[in-house]
A and B are shown apart, each in its own frame.
Chain A
Amino acid sequence: MFIALRDLAYAKGRFALMTLVIALIALLMTSLSGMSAGLIKNNISGLMELDVTHIAFEYDDRPTYRNTMIERAQWEEWAEQTGVKAMEPMGHTIFTARTQKDDPLELVLWGMRPASFLDPGTDLGDAIGKTENGVVISGLLAERDGVEIGDTITLDRVLTELEVIGIIEERNIGHIPIVYAPLPKWQEATYGPPGGPPPGEKLPAIVFDFVSILAMQLDESITPEQINELDEEIGTTTRDRNGFYIASTGYVEEVRTVQIIQFFLFLISAVVIGAFFATWTIQRTREIGLVKALGASNGYLLRDALSQALLVMLVGVAIGLTVGLYLGRLIMANTNMPYMLEGDQIGNAMVLLIVAGLVGGALSIRRITRVDPIIALGQEQ
C-alpha cells in the first residue's frame, strides 16, 4: 500500500467524496436491513417463536394458512409415524372482532392445546387453559388497541366471546396480531354455529375433529423424500421452517421486494466504485507507466490499487454502518415502525457490499495490466 496510502492523502478530496458515497450506500443498506428484518418479524414473529421443525397443511402445491383443513384421522396417522418426535394439531383463523369499548379489531385466532409445546405461556396474567374462553393476546393489541386483561373480545359473525387472561410480547402472522386460545374454543369459533351452541346443548363432536395445520417436531433422520411419501399417503403437504414462513401471506413478496432493493444497492455500489476507480486509473495512466518502467510488476500495482479500493470501502462502510445503527436505535426507541437490527443480516449485507464494491473496483483496476511502460519515455503504447 505504498502508493495507495500516499494517493489517499494526495487526493483526499476525491477519496473523501467517494468514501461519503459508500457511507451513504452502507447507511441505506443498514436501514433497509433494519426495515426488512422488522417487516419479516412483523409478518411471521408468531411462526418464528413456534418450537417446531415442520408444519403440515392440507394437501396443496402452494399451501397457505388461510386455506387448510386437517381432519382428526390425518393428525392421528401423523402422530403414529416414526421420526415424529411430537405433533400438535393447531387452528388458524382470521377474525374481525370488537373490543369491550366496541372498537374494531383484526386478529388471528390460534387454537392450541394448553400446556402443549405450542403454548406460548404469558408475560402478564395467566396462560391459556385457565378458563374455557380465556385467551392470551399479542402485546400489540394491548399497546395499540388498549385491550387489557379482563376485557372481553367478541368475534364478529360467530359472536364468540373471548376473555383476555394474559398478554405476551408482540406476535403476528401476516402483520395481524395473534390471539392464543384453547383449541376447543378455536374449533367452536371456527366451525360452530354463530352465537355458539344453543343454551343447554353441546356442539356436535364433528366440530372438534378439524384443525388447520399440524405443528410437528420431526427427527433429523427423517428425509424430505420420506416426508413427501407420508404427505402423499396422508393427504397433507409438509413444509420445513422456511417453507412454513413462505406460506404466510405476503412474506415472499416482502422478502423479494427487499432483496431486489438490496440487489440494486449492491449493483450501484459495484458500479459507483467501478466508475470511480476507472476514472482514477485513467488519470493515473502516465504514473502507472512510469512505475512499471521503474520495475513494478502488474501484481504489485494491482495489489496496491485493490488495497486502496478495500480501504475506501471499509472506511465508507464503517461510517455508514455506525450512523445506520445509531439511527436504527433512534427509530426503534421512538417510533412504532417495524424495525429490527439483526447482527447477522446487517453483517452479511455489509460483507456483500464490500465484495460488490471490490468486484467493481477490480474490474476497473485491471486496466492497469494494459498500461505499457513505454509511455514513460513519451512514446505511444
Chain B
Amino acid sequence: MRAENVSLLLGDGDEQIKALDDVSVSVAAGEMLIVVGPSGAGKSSLLAVCGGLRTPTSGRVWIDDTEITGMPEKQLAEVRRRSLGFVFQQSNLVPSLSALDQLLLLVHMGGRKPRAADRDKAMALLEEVGMADKARRRAGQLSGGERQRVGIARAFITDPSLLLVDEPTSMLDSNRGHQIVELLRRACHEHKVATMMVTHDRSVLDTADRVVSISDGRLAAMSDAEVTSVQRAANATY
C-alpha cells in the first residue's frame, strides 16, 4: 500500500478541518507499521483513506499497484473485499452470525456458497487465533477479547494483501490488548501481509517493525530510540 501527498478536509465552510495534511506513507508485504497518536490526530482518517472508505481531498492511494483514488464505490467495495482485511474495534461483528459465519460471510460476498474447503480454512484461522472451540457462538456470546480474535481471523479469510487495524486494544485490558497485538504481529509475518495499525496505545509499539506518529493530520517517523523511550514511559504508567 502506498499513499502519496494525501490531504483530507472534513466538514463544510468555516467548520472545515484538515484531518490529513500532505501525508505520504507506504507499507510493504509482511511489514507491520504502527501509526500512533492521540485522539483526533487523524489516525482513523488515515485508515479510512487507505482502506478506500473515504476519498482524499488531494493525493493518491495505491493498493497492489492499483490506484483506488477516485474509484467508483462498487469497484472500491470489490477492492476492499478482495485485497483488504479490516480489524475494527471489538464490537464490529455481525450480531446474528456465529464466529465461523463471520468468516464465511466474506466468501459468500464474493459470489459463491461457502464450500467444505472454505469451512476448513475458516476453522484453521479460528484455530490460529484460539477460537475454534467457540466457532458456533454468536458475537453476543463472546467476550471482548474473543470478538477481537474472531475479527482478526475474519480479516485473513480472503488472503488480503493489506491489513488495516483500528485501535484493536481500545476496549481491552492491558494484558489482553498485548495478546491481541502480538497475535496480529504473528499473523502479519506468517501470512506476509502489509499491516497498518492505528492506535493511541503507546505500550504496544515494540511489536511494530516501524512506527510513525501522527499529530494534527501530519505524519512523522519515529526512531528506535524514540519508540523505546515512549514505550518505557507508557509501560511505567501501567
A376-B86, A377-B166 as given contacts; A294 in contact with B109, CB under 8 Å: yes
Q: Given A10-B96, A290-B94, A296-B77, does the pair A376, B101 have CB atoms closer than 8 Å?
A: no
Report the bound CA distance from A293 to B76 in whole Å.
Answer: 10
Assess whether A326 is interfacial by the CB under 8 Å rule: no
Among B27-35, B46-54, B124-132, the stretch that binds chain A is B46-54
Residues from chain B with a CB closer than 8 A to the CB of A291 are 94, 105, 109
Q: Which of A332-381 contact B (CB under 8 A)?
A: 373-374, 376-379
Cross-chain contact B94 with A3 (CB below 8 angstroms): yes
Q: How many cross-chain pairs have Cβ atoms below 8 Å apart between A and B?
A: 79
Chain A residue nearest to B82 in the complex (CB): A295
B44 within 8 A of A: yes
The answer for the CA separation of A376 and B87 in the assembled complex, in Å, is 10
- A38 CA / B147 CA spacing, docked (Å): 60
Is A7 in contact with chain B by the CB < 8 A criterion? yes
B62 interface residue, CB < 8 Å from A?
A: no
- Chain A contact-residue range equals 20 to 34
Name the residue on A nearest B80 (C-beta). Answer: A295
**For the complex, is B95 an interface residue (Cβ under 8 Å from A)?**
yes
Instruction: Say how far A156's CB is from chain B's closest CB, in angstroms.
Output: 73
Known: A373-B53, A378-B89. A294 touches B96 (CB 8 A): no
Q: Given A374-B53, A379-B48, are A295 and B78 also a contact pair (CB < 8 Å)?
A: yes
In the complex, the chain A residue whose C-beta lies closest to that of B110 is A295
- On whether A296 and B109 interact (CB within 8 A), knowing A290-B94, A374-B48, the answer reads yes
Q: Which residues of A contact B108 (CB under 8 A)?
A: 2
Assess the B81–A290 pair: CB atoms within 8 A.
no
Encode contact with A along B163-174: 1 for CB under 8 Å, 0 otherwise: 000100000000
Question: B106: CB under 8 A from chain A?
Answer: yes
In the complex, what residues of B have CB within 8 A of residue A373's CB?
53, 80
The residue of chain A having its C-beta at the shortest distance from the C-beta of B106 within the complex is A294
In the complex, A10 Cα to B138 Cα: how many Å? 9
- B92 contacts the other chain (Cβ, under 8 Å)? yes
User: How close is B46's CB to chain A, nearest CB, in angstroms?
Assistant: 10
* Complex-state Cα separation, A373 to B104, whole angstroms: 20
The secondary structure that dominates the B interface is helix
Q: Please tell me if the beta carbons of A9 and B96 are within 8 angstroms of each other in the complex.
A: yes
Complex-state Cα separation, A2 to B105, whole angstroms: 7
- Chain B interface residue count, Cβ-Cβ cutoff 8 angstroms: 34
Q: Within the complex, what minimum Cβ distance (angstroms) separates A12 from chain B?
A: 10
| CB-contact partner of B109 in A9, A300, A376, A378, under 8 A | A300
Question: In the complex, what distance in Å separates the CA atom of A287 from the CA atom of B94?
Answer: 6
| Cα of A6 to Cα of B84 in the assembled complex, Å | 25
Q: Are B105 and A379 in contact (CB under 8 A)?
A: no
Q: A379 CA to B88 CA in the complex, in Å?
A: 12
Contacting pair B51 A293 (CB below 8 A): yes
Per the bound structure, the CA–CA distance linking A278 and B74 in Å amounts to: 24
Q: How far is the CB of A143 from chain B (nearest CB, A)?
A: 58
Is A226 interfacial (CB-CB < 8 Å)? no
Which single member of B44, B74, B86 contacts A293 (CB below 8 Å)?
Answer: B86
Q: State A9–B101 Cα separation when bound (angstroms).
A: 13
A7 contact set on B, CB distance < 8 A: 96
Contact of A297 among B78, B84, B86, B89 (CB under 8 A): B78
The interface bits of chain A over 130-144 (1 if a CB of B lies within 8 angstroms of the residue's CB, else 0) are 000000000000000
Asked whether B142 is an interface residue with its Cβ less than 8 Å from the other chain, the reply is no
Q: Are A295 and B48 in contact (CB under 8 A)?
A: no
- Interface readout for B67-86 with A: 1 if CB under 8 Å, 0 if not? 00000011001111110101
Known: A6-B101, A377-B47. A293 touches B96 (CB 8 A): no
1/0 per position for A5-39, CB-CB distance to B under 8 A? 01101110000000000000000000000000000
Residue B183 is within 8 A (CB to CB) of chain A in the complex? no
CB <8 Å contact, B97 and A292:
no
A295 and B75 alpha carbons, distance in the complex (Å): 9
Contact in complex: A374, B89 (CB < 8 Å): no
Chain A 199-218 interface mask (CB, 8 Å, partner B; 1/0): 00000000000000000000
Point out the residues of chain B lying under 8 angstroms from A3, CB to CB: 94, 96-97, 105
The interface residues of chain B lying within 8 Å CB-to-CB of A297 are 74, 77-78
4 A-B pairs with least C-beta separation:
A295-B81, A10-B96, A295-B80, A2-B108
22 CB-based A-B contacts, threshold 8 Å: A2-B104, A2-B108, A2-B109, A3-B94, A3-B105, A6-B101, A9-B96, A11-B96, A290-B88, A290-B93, A291-B94, A291-B105, A295-B84, A295-B109, A296-B109, A297-B78, A300-B109, A373-B53, A376-B53, A377-B44, A377-B53, A378-B44
